[in-house]
Copies of this chain bind each other. A is one copy, B any other.
Amino acid sequence: MGDTIQSVERAAAILRLLASGPRQLGVAELARALGLPKGTLHGILRTLVHVGFVEQDDTTGKYRLGATLLHLGSSYLDVNELRTRSINWADALAGRSRESAWIGTPHEGHVLVIHHVFRPDDSMQTLQVGTYLPLHASALGKVLLAYDPYGESITPPLQAHTKRTLTDPARLEAELAQVRARGWAAEMEELTEGEVAIAAPIRDARGLAVGAIGIRGAVERLAPGGDLHMEFVSYVRDAARAITRDLAR
């Protein structure tokens, strides 16, 4: 772990800060947050504006993320092999289950959504590609936790999203053991009231869980009366196995 280039790392820190909220930030705010002189930050910001990673508000002078980042981010999707290989299977999964299909990969203590197929015959859904889901309160996240070889990504306190969110580390660990035992995970209204999700692991050629695929939908369709319809579990596991097979080639 040699040394890194100071200014590039600082530039990245600025971008992360700007991305952490929808608010625009000023030089002084950033200086306080990062503990750096205003002049230093201004130089980096000027460069970031020049390359299009950051834009400056004409009237207030405050800074926000730039459009170039949107294009770079979408380029990442083309590069990501897991996503490229999974797209067709995710489409098929959404078609068979008639629910929205999701693919996620672990990233910085969250599940990063790298693909999302809308539920067929239902409009007005917003795309979630690029957003984070919590590891402990999503089916995708439980799968990734359960099969994480380093197995210590769970850092309490666990945030409660609904009253059914698992916030007790011991109970979560027990559920992860169950996930490992049966090869899939469920999440019952633990992230959003009325929504249920199922997920299964995607493995690479070496057997490592590099991602997870699953579906998400209304509790009354996927688990009426609280009982998960096992046909949906089959759909998800089939898709996960198919992608795993695909990646092994």
Contacts and interface: CB of A to CB of B under 8 A. Distances in A.
A118 B118 contact: yes
Given A5-B44, A68-B108, A123-B95, A130 B50 contact: no
A5 B7 contact: yes
A131 interface: yes
A124 B91 contact: yes
A36 interface: no
A16 B52 CA distance: 11
Contact of A65 (B47, B67, B76): B76
A121 B173 CA distance: 41
Contacts of A76: 19, 65-67, 69-70, 73
4 closest A-B pairs (Cβ-Cβ)? A73-B73, A74-B130, A19-B75, A12-B51
A60 interface: no
Given A11-B11, A12-B51, A123-B94, A70 B65 contact: no
Contacts of A43: 4-5
Interface in A44-90: 44, 46-48, 50-53, 64-80, 87
A68 B2 contact: no
Contact of A4 (B2, B46, B52): B46
A134 to B, nearest CB: 14
6 contacts: A66-B76, A67-B107, A69-B75, A71-B131, A73-B76, A117-B123
A112 interface: yes
Contacts of A7: 5, 7-8
A239 B41 CA distance: 40
B79 A22 contact: yes
A66 B77 CA distance: 10
Contacts of A69: 69, 72-73, 75-76
Interface string A100-117: 000001011000101001
Contacts of A5: 7, 11, 43-44, 46-47
A119 to B, nearest CB: 9
Given A8-B44, A12-B48, A71-B107, 10 more contacts: A5-B43, A12-B52, A13-B51, A15-B72, A20-B75, A22-B79, A69-B76, A70-B73, A71-B130, A87-B126
Contact of A22 (B13, B78, B87): B78
